[in-house]
Structure formats: structure tokens, C-alpha cells
């Protein structure tokens, strides 16, 4: 069966061009929507995987946190000290933690290149004592929110007790460029 021919007055070309234009507009609108849908589905799948990992690791983390608390209790960790507002108070607080840990000797001095930092300074220290006491000191240091990190740690073995040298970053509350006497 054949279709009847289109009358001569019927704009077949114009209709075909309009159909092609409508198809192009439809594709240009649907392609970005399909891409966004694909991207959102990938993000949802990634989030579901993260949730599954979190659910799997949660019991392990609870066990680790319990062990961490037990270790703190066994080592006699203290509560955080107040944030010092001057450099001498930082050094005093560090000496107090060294005494609490049972280390035998210590000395902390500001690193010259960090004195220009805003409210942050690296203190280089030398210590000696048994490894158990050094572990206790590291635990005490990790409890202090005003200590922001350890830059280096060197251990030198000796006959009596190992010697330790470390660099600790500290933050104090004194406003920058104000000296107190």
C-alpha cells in the first residue's frame, strides 16, 4: 500500500527541517540531563560504598578506641592543660608534662626560624629516659589541643637510656606582635 502523494502546496521541506530542529533541541536538552543523572547515580553509589565501609569499620574503631582509653589509663594520661598565652608558659607546660611522664632530663628551646610565625612556634627539645616514659610523654603531648604536631623525632641509643630529640609545634593565645614582660 502506497501513501498518497503530498499536495504541491504542502511544505514538506519546512516540516522536515522543523522536525530535525525539534529533535536537535530535544537532544541538547536531554543529553545534559542524562549526564547529570549518570553523575548523581555515580555519587550515590560512592556514598553507599562509603557508608558500607563505615558500617564495617565502626566495630573495629570502637574496639580501638576502647584499647586507646585503656592504654591512656594504664599510662596515667592527664587531662589537657590550659592553652598557654605566652612562650614561657608553653615551655613551663612542656616541662610539667616531662616531669609527669618521668623523663630524666629535658630542654626545650624555640626554633629561631619559627619565631616569626603568628601565634605558632616550633620548640626543639632534647630528652633522655626509658622508652616507657617517652611513650607516656607522647601520650600526654597528644592530649594537648595547643600542640599541633611533631615535626621530627630522633632517637639515639645509649647504655643507660635512649636520648630523644624532637620538634613540637605549639599554638599560644597571645595576640601576634605583642610582647609581655
pLDDT per position as a tens digit, 34-86: 899 999 999 999 999 999 998 988 888 888 878 777 766 665 555 666 777 77
Q: Per the confidence metrics, is the pTM higher than 0.75?
A: no
Taking residue 62's Cβ as centre, other Cβ atoms within 10 Å add up to 10
Distance of alpha carbon 38 from alpha carbon 32, whole angstroms: 10
In 10-94 the beta strands, taken as DSSP E runs, fall at none
Below-70 pLDDT ranges, the chain: 1, 6, 71-81, 105, 117, 173-181
Question: Do strands 147-156 and 120-128 pair parallel, antiparallel, or not at all (unpaired)?
Answer: unpaired
Distance of alpha carbon 117 from alpha carbon 115, whole angstroms: 6
Distance of alpha carbon 167 from alpha carbon 155, whole angstroms: 12
Distance of alpha carbon 148 from alpha carbon 123, whole angstroms: 11
Residue 6: predicted pLDDT: 66
SS3 state at 124? strand
Residue 176: predicted pLDDT: 47
Question: Do strands 163-171 and 147-156 pair parallel, antiparallel, or not at all (unpaired)?
Answer: antiparallel
Distance of alpha carbon 168 from alpha carbon 74, whole angstroms: 24
Report which of 26, 8, 30, 9 is spatially closest to residue 18, judged by C-alpha positions. 26
Distance of alpha carbon 128 from alpha carbon 83, whole angstroms: 26
SS3 state at 80? coil
Amino acid at each position: 500500500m502506497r501513501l498518497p502523494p503530498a499536495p504541491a502546496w504542502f511544505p514538506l521541506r519546512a516540516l522536515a527541517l522543523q522536525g530535525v530542529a525539534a529533535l536537535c533541541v530535544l537532544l541538547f536538552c536531554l543529553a545534559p540531563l542524562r549526564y547529570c543523572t549518570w553523575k548523581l547515580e555515580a555519587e550515590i553509589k560512592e556514598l553507599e560504598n562509603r557508608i558500607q565501609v563505615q558500617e564495617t569499620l565502626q566495630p573495629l574503631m570502637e574496639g580501638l578506641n576502647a584499647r586507646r582509653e585503656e592504654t591512656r589509663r594504664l599510662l596515667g594520661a592527664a587531662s589537657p592543660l590550659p592553652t598557654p598565652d605566652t612562650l614561657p608558659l608553653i615551655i613551663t607546660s612542656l616541662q610539667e608534662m616531662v616531669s609527669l611522664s618521668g623523663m630524666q632530663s629535658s630542654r626545650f628551646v624555640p626554633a629561631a626560624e619559627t619565631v616569626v610565625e603568628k601565634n605558632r612556634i616550633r620548640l626543639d627539645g632534647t630528652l633522655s629516659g626509658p622508652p616507657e616514659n617517652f611513650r607516656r610523654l607522647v601520650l600526654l603531648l597528644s592530649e594537648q589541643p595547643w600542640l599541633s604536631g611533631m615535626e621530627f623525632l630522633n632517637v639515639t641509643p645509649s647504655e643507660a637510656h635512649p636520648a630523644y630529640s624532637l620538634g613540637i609545634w605549639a599554638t599560644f593565645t597571645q595576640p601576634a606582635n605583642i610582647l609581655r614582660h
